[in-house]
Amino acid sequence: MNHTSEYEFTIIVPVYNERDNIDRLEEAFAHYLPAASRRSCVLFINDGSTDGSLELLQRICARNPHFYYLSFMRNAGLSAALKAGIDHAESPLVGYIDADLQTHPEDFERLLPLAVEHQLATGIRAGRKDSLFKRFQSKFANSFRRMMTHDGATDTGCPLKVMQTPAAKRLPLFKGMHRFLPALILLQEGASYAETPVPHYPRTAGASKFHLWNRLISPLMDCFAYRWMRKRAINYRVGPTNL
């Protein structure tokens, strides 16, 4: 039995070498879940961590009834972790948040109402606590992506999102796809997304896994892959059937 089917909302948390953040994650979700507007659970995706994160995740899942985990045999990357979470979620809604807690679970409450009418609700990081260089890279990458995809999205790098699960399962997923969720959602006929500002917090533990290549160069290259995919996306609506 897949326990996520018992919930309205499954929160996916990719974890890669975040040992120093596991206790903070437990505290944050133990505080949020009882107060959430939807019956919610957490699905941690251990992305082949080598620092003991898996053992700590197993411990917190054992003592928290609404915590679950799935572990990769080796590191596969953020997009793969997000895809695995979507593949294994059976709740009507699925969310995504980073393990560094630069966004907080309580702010899902800003997104959940928007996910009633939109297939994707995404945050816009307000008052970003990143370095000036990181903010510059992000601003440049977002501008280039908007020019290439015409998705109009403000901040696709914001690690706080809610999706309707059926729409999420139809996404054409690839490495780097987590940066293109609004554009990918718009490939689905009749689909839409909404944005809203969410607070942003400094990283207080662990180390960032992003650098110039995977924050800037690789996303720019992925824009061309998206343009190729957009022209070849398959869309259809089923009419009458006797199945």
The identity of residue 101, as a single letter, is L
Percent of the chain with pLDDT over 90: 62
Distances in whole angstroms, Cα of residue 49 to Cα of each of 20, 36, 205: 12, 29, 16
The DSSP annotation for 157-226 comes to T-SEEEEEHHHHHTS---TTGGG-HHHHHHTSTT--EEEEEEE-----SS-----HIIIIIHHHHHHHHH
| Domain layout of the chain by residue ranges | 3-232
Of the chain, the percentage scoring pLDDT greater than 70 comes to 82
Q: What is the per-residue pLDDT across 144-160, written as a single tens digit (0 to 9) for each?
A: 767 676 787 888 889 99
Q: Does the pLDDT of residue 61 top 80, yes or no?
A: yes
Cβ atoms within 10 Å of 104's Cβ, excluding its own: 16
Domain 3-232 fold is Spore Coat Polysaccharide Biosynthesis Protein SpsA; Chain A (3.90.550)
Residue 147 sits at φ, ψ, to 5 deg, of: -65, -35
Rounded to whole angstroms, the Cα distance separating 141 from 180 reads: 11
pLDDT digits (tens, 9 = 90+) for 194-219: 999 999 988 777 566 554 455 556 66
CA distances to 76, 132, 133, 183, 197 from 140, in Å = 26, 12, 11, 17, 19
- Per the CB < 8 A criterion, the answer to whether 94 and 165 are in contact is yes
H/E run at residue 56? helix 53-63
Sign of CA dihedral 161, 164, 209, 100: positive
